[in-house]
Each structure stands twice: as C-alpha cells, then as structure tokens.
Amino acid sequence: MPETKVKKTEDFNEWYNEIVELAGLCDKRYPIKGMNVWMPYGWKLMKHVDDLIREEMTLTKHEEVCFPLLIPESLFKKEEEHIKGFSGEVYWVTHAGSNKLEERWLLRPTSETAMYPIFALWIRSHTDLPLKTFQIVNTFRYETKQTRAFIRVREIHFFEAHTCHADLDDAERQIKEDKEIADRLMRKLSLPCVFNKRPNWDKFAGAFYTISIDVLMPSGRTLQVGSIHQYKQNFSKPYNITYETIDGKHEFCYQTTYGMSERLLGAIIGVHGDNKGLVLPPDVAPVQVVIIPVIFKGKENEINKACMLIHDRLKNRGIRVEIDQRDCTPGNKFYEWELKGVPLRIEIGPKDLEKNECLIVRRDTGEKYTTPQHSIEEKVASELKQLSERLYNNAKKLLDANIHHVTDLKDADNLKGIIEVPWCGDESCALEVEKFLDCNTLGEPIDSKVYDGKCPICGKHADKYMRYAKMY
C-alpha cells in the first residue's frame, strides 16, 4: 500500500504535498504548472463544500448566475486601481483560429469587470436593490511563486458573491451578513478562523477595505481562505452602475463582494489531517461511513448480508455510506479508508453477527467499540456530530495557543503563529514590525476592543494593534 514518506508531525509541507495525491484528491502531473487535475474523490469533496456555500446563498437570498470567462481588455481597464493590482497576473487570449483578435481578451482573475457593465444594465431603480448574486466558477491567475495544490494554483475553483446596494448602511449590513455566513460555513468545516481587516496598503485592488478570513495551519503559517470587500462606489462610478431613488434622483450604487476558494480544501487537509492521512469533516466527507465485512470462511453470505442491511439503513437516513467488498484483506481496506479520511468505519465479523452488534471505529481518535445493530442510525449520527465538534475544538485550541500578544518585540522571538503588536497607525511602523518579525501584516482584528498601548517602533500612543504572521 502507498503511504506518505514523511509524517505530518515531522514535515508538514512535504506531507501536505504527498497526501493530496495519495488520497486521490488531485493529480499534479498535468503539464502546466499550477493547473492540476481534480480526481473523483477530490472533486466530490469540493462539490460538497460548494453545496454548503449554495445552501447559505439560498438562505440569504443570493441568486446564482454565470458570467463569461473572457473579458475584453477595454472593460478590464476601467477601474484604475484594479488594473494596477491584476494586470501582472492575467492570461491573455490574442488569437482565435489563425486570426489575431482586434482587442485582447483576458481570462477572469475575478469577475468584477465582467459583471459590472451588465449590472449597470440590470439596475434601474431603487426597487432593483439590493442586487445579490453569486457564481461558482474557475478563475485564473498567473502565479510566479511556487505552486501548491489547492493553496497556490493558477486555475482556481472560486466562489464569488457580488452585491449592489442603495446606500453605505445597506452595504455594511451585507458585510455583516457575509461574516455570519462565513462563521456558519467554517463551523461546518470544523475550521476556526480569524477575521482581519487588511492593512490599507495591502487590500484588494480597488476595494475601500478588505476583510480576510484566515486559518492557522499546523506549520504556523496562516492561510487566507476567503475575503469580504467593501467597495463603496469605487467600481460603480467607472462602470456607471446607478439607480433612480424614490425622489427621482440618480445615485451610484454601493457594492460589496465576498469570495472563497478551493483553499478551503487546503485548510481542511492541513488542519485536520494526521500521520495516517486525511481526516474529513462529516459535513463534506464524500464518504461519511465505510462498512467493511470481516469475512471468515463459511460465514461470507451472512456477514455480507448483515453489512448490506446496515448500509441500506444508513443510506435511507441520508448518510453517505459505502460498503467495501473488494477482494483484499481488511487491513488493507482500513489503511486506505483511513488515508482518505472517512470519519467512521463499521466492521462486522462472525462474533458481531452472533450478538447482533457491529464495531465502530472513529477516524479522529482511533477509538473502537461495539454497539447494537438495532440503533445504528442514531449511533452513527451522534458519532459524526461529536467528531465534527472534536475536530473544531482541537483546531480552536491550536489557534488560541498560537495567537500571541506582545508589547515588546523582543518577546516575539521564536513565536510561531499570529503575533499581535500595538500599532500607532503609521504604515512605516507596521512595515518595520514586519521586517523585525520576518512576517507579513495580517491586519487588524475586526472586533478589537478599546486599546491603550505604545507602538514598539515609534513609541507613540497605540489605540489599536495589528496582527502579523507568516502567510501562505
């Protein structure tokens, strides 16, 4: 059986690179760097994450659309900051067949510049607002840094919500709703996260402000899995998205966006996995329960029949269950399903058969116990719930233990994770701290309380603090 050459606890980054292929999530041998093949198991996992996002979007009355991939250069260039931020990382289509195009088209790196000219046509009056839309598509960025599956790729599976509002208040309400959506979603993935208001000098190109959704990986680096942007009227003005007010005036809309990507998979793999392989949160696990018949000669039929019965009962309850009747040893099967991170394993052997029991094995703890078959549905449901909670609690402990608040930079020596440092508000001071810590500026906590400290660089009063971390 294949297994990772390194342990997660020994070399996280190398383990990560190995496990994504071993577990059958993606194939990195496609001949364009950073463009990987989604294998069936990985694609199913991603689709379950997409489904959770769609559920949240339906709940909050966003409507799904799908805009073209290609964007004419002239549309792209309407918002000055946006083009500055992205023009270095877009792919250009210049020819069709053997013809040179009159105007170059780019592959969307994100869809503002494809959507907003059309929003300008859709929105006429205040009764058309708020406009709440989203799409789930692949986007393209020319990454020049080292690529890493799901974390830094050139074709990115991406969710993006785009909204238009009559005023800033309503746009701010949207940002609040986005945070609530993110909270619910991340809880289902058992991923505790921190929201950070990105520093002004490193926000999304064209945004008024950007909130990043960051997860702490076991390597001590943070992974930005999503972002929420307040655009105010920064895009509605160049793209002329106006509406008629009740009084017959014409105003520019206020806009927000909210995006998340396949990096969520990167976080799931990195945060929950262990030396045996993946550990998948039940809400998104392609297989939640695997049933393995432990066959002894002469009992094949009865054992297989009992397994099928349990299989059908769980399936009827909407549980994603598989039965593994392949012709190989139970040990090999255990090994493979552990690698793939299936939350629960059920075994039925001759003794279990006699007692009308089965053995349940938890992927996260390795805990095993027998349980009566008659109440298997309830048992499985409760174990899946507990497993999800335990994954979350463990990750939360790791996160909490790795957020360090220091007032003196010397205390930050050898600290891993997120480091909070008092900040006077000057960009230059934050950049000094970055340098000293060999970190990047993550941003200000969005829920920071009144703060009274001293900037460790300039000594001035600091009424807030900034977070720093090594980032993926």
Interface positions with a copy of itself (CB under 8 A): 27, 29-32, 35-40, 43-44, 47, 63-70, 72, 75, 87-98, 105, 107, 114, 117-118, 121-122, 133, 138, 140, 142, 155, 157
CB of residue 400 vs a copy of itself: minimum separation in angstroms? Answer: 36
CB of residue 1 vs a copy of itself: minimum separation in angstroms? Answer: 16
Contact by Cβ (8 Å): 262, 294: no
- For a copy of itself, the closer of residues 89 and 167 by Cβ is 89
Cα-to-chain-centroid distance, residue 417: 19
Contact by Cβ (8 Å): 223, 230: no
- For a copy of itself, the closer of residues 17 and 448 by Cβ is 17
- Tokens encoding 171: 């746009």
- For a copy of itself, the closer of residues 262 and 352 by Cβ is 262
CB of residue 324 vs a copy of itself: minimum separation in angstroms? Answer: 15
- Tokens encoding 299: 């009992």
CB of residue 68 vs a copy of itself: minimum separation in angstroms? Answer: 4
- 410: CB partners within 8 A, 6+ apart: none
- Tokens encoding 456: 């460790």
- Would you tell me how many other CB atoms lie within 10 Å of the CB of residue 420? 21
Cα-to-chain-centroid distance, residue 380: 26
**Which ranges of 189-329 would DSSP assign to H, the alpha helix?**
263-272, 300-316
CB of residue 88 vs a copy of itself: minimum separation in angstroms? Answer: 4
Helix axes 300-316, 376-401, angle to 10 degrees: 70
CB of residue 71 vs a copy of itself: minimum separation in angstroms? Answer: 8
Between CA 53 and CA 319 the distance in angstroms is 19
Length of the chain in terms of residues written: 472
CB of residue 113 vs a copy of itself: minimum separation in angstroms? Answer: 11
Give 360's strand partners.
346, 369
Between CA 297 and CA 287 the distance in angstroms is 28
- For a copy of itself, the closer of residues 37 and 458 by Cβ is 37
CB of residue 29 vs a copy of itself: minimum separation in angstroms? Answer: 6
- For a copy of itself, the closer of residues 127 and 370 by Cβ is 127
Half-sphere exposure of 315 (CA within 13 A, CB side): 11
CB of residue 66 vs a copy of itself: minimum separation in angstroms? Answer: 4
**To 5 degrees, how large is the angle CA 99–CA 101–CA 106?**
130
Between CA 455 and CA 442 the distance in angstroms is 17
Q: Across the chain, which distance is largest between two alpha carbons, in Å? A: 84
CB of residue 76 vs a copy of itself: minimum separation in angstroms? Answer: 11
Contact by Cβ (8 Å): 400, 420: no
- For a copy of itself, the closer of residues 90 and 429 by Cβ is 90
Please name the helix (run of DSSP H) or strand (run of DSSP E) that holds residue 75, with its range, or none.
Answer: helix 73-76
CB of residue 119 vs a copy of itself: minimum separation in angstroms? Answer: 10
Between CA 228 and CA 249 the distance in angstroms is 29
- For a copy of itself, the closer of residues 72 and 425 by Cβ is 72
**Which ranges of 359-454 would DSSP assign to H, the alpha helix?**
376-401, 427-437
**Residue at 16: amino acid letter:** Y
- For a copy of itself, the closer of residues 91 and 436 by Cβ is 91
Contact by Cβ (8 Å): 314, 321: yes
Give 9's strand partners.
none
